[in-house]
C-alpha cells in the first residue's frame, strides 16, 4: 500500500514539472522581422503604429524619435539556481521628420550593444562655495528663513551676556 502511495505521489510531482524553460518576454515581439517591412523615406507614422504598435519611449527634439524594445529572459541551468539571463535584447530607434515620414532607422541587438561606447565622464556642479551665485542663493535662503532678522538680534544678545 505504501509503495502505491509513493508511486502516485512521485508521478504527481513529475507530471507537474515542465521541461521547457520559462521565457519572460517584454516589448514588441519579433522586432527584428518587423523592422524589415519598415522603409526609410517611405513609411509614415500611422503605418509604423499599425505594424509595431505604440513605442516604448518617445523623444521630441528636432525630429520625433521613437524607441521600440524587445527583451527575452530565460532561466539559466540548474547549476546557476535558475537565475534569469537575457537571451534577446533588441532595440529599434526610428527618427520621424516633421512631415510624419520615417527618416532614419537604427537597429541594435545584444551583440551590437557591446560595441557602443558609453561616455563615463561626469559634469561638475555649477555652484562652488566661492561663486557669486552660491553667495547670492545663501543670502536669499537666510532671508527666507528669517525675514525680519530676529535670529541675528537674539544671537547678539546672547553673546553679550
Per-residue pLDDT of 117-135, as tens digits, reads 666 776 666 555 566 677 7
Asked if residue 114 has pLDDT above 80, the reply is: no
Tell me how far apart the alpha carbons of residues 65 and 96 are, in angstroms, rounded to a whole number. 6
> For the chain, what's the residue count?
161
Site of grid cell 534569469: 84
CATH for 20-117?
Answer: 3.30.1450
* Domain locations in the chain as residue ranges: 20-117
What single-letter DSSP state applies at residue 124? Answer: P
Contacts 24+ apart (CB under 8 A), 103-109: 103/40, 103/41, 103/63, 104/40, 105/35, 105/38, 105/40, 107/32, 107/35, 109/32
Q: Is the pLDDT reported for residue 35 higher than 80?
A: yes
- Strand 102-108, strand 23-27: pairing: unpaired
What integer pLDDT is reported at residue 83 of this predicted model?
74
Residue 2 confidence (pLDDT): 76
Conformational region of residue 77, where left means phi above 0, alpha means psi within -120 to 50, and beta covers everything else: beta
| DSSP conformational letter for 97 | -
Confidence of residue 80 (pLDDT cuts 50, 70, 90): low
pLDDT one-digit tens code per residue, 129-156: 566 677 777 777 777 776 666 766 777 6
| Of 59, 129, 144, nearest in space to 94 by CA | 59
Amino acid at each position: 500500500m505504501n509503495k502505491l502511495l509513493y508511486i502516485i505521489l512521485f508521478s504527481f510531482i513529475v507530471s507537474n514539472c515542465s521541461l521547457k524553460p520559462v521565457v519572460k518576454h517584454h516589448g514588441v515581439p519579433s522586432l527584428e522581422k518587423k523592422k524589415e517591412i519598415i522603409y526609410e523615406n517611405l513609411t509614415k507614422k500611422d503605418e509604423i503604429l499599425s505594424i509595431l504598435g505604440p513605442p516604448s519611449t518617445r523623444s521630441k527634439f528636432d525630429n520625433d524619435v521613437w524607441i521600440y524594445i524587445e527583451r527575452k529572459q530565460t532561466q539559466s541551468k540548474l547549476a546557476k539556481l535558475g537565475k534569469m539571463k537575457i537571451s534577446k535584447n533588441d532595440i529599434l530607434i526610428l527618427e520621424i521628420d516633421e512631415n510624419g515620414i520615417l527618416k532614419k532607422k537604427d537597429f541594435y541587438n545584444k551583440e551590437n550593444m557591446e560595441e557602443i561606447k558609453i561616455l563615463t565622464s561626469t559634469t561638475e556642479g555649477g555652484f562652488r562655495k566661492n561663486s557669486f551665485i552660491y553667495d547670492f542663493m545663501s543670502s536669499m535662503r537666510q532671508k527666507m528663513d528669517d525675514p525680519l532678522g530676529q535670529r541675528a538680534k537674539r544671537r547678539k544678545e546672547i553673546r553679550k551676556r
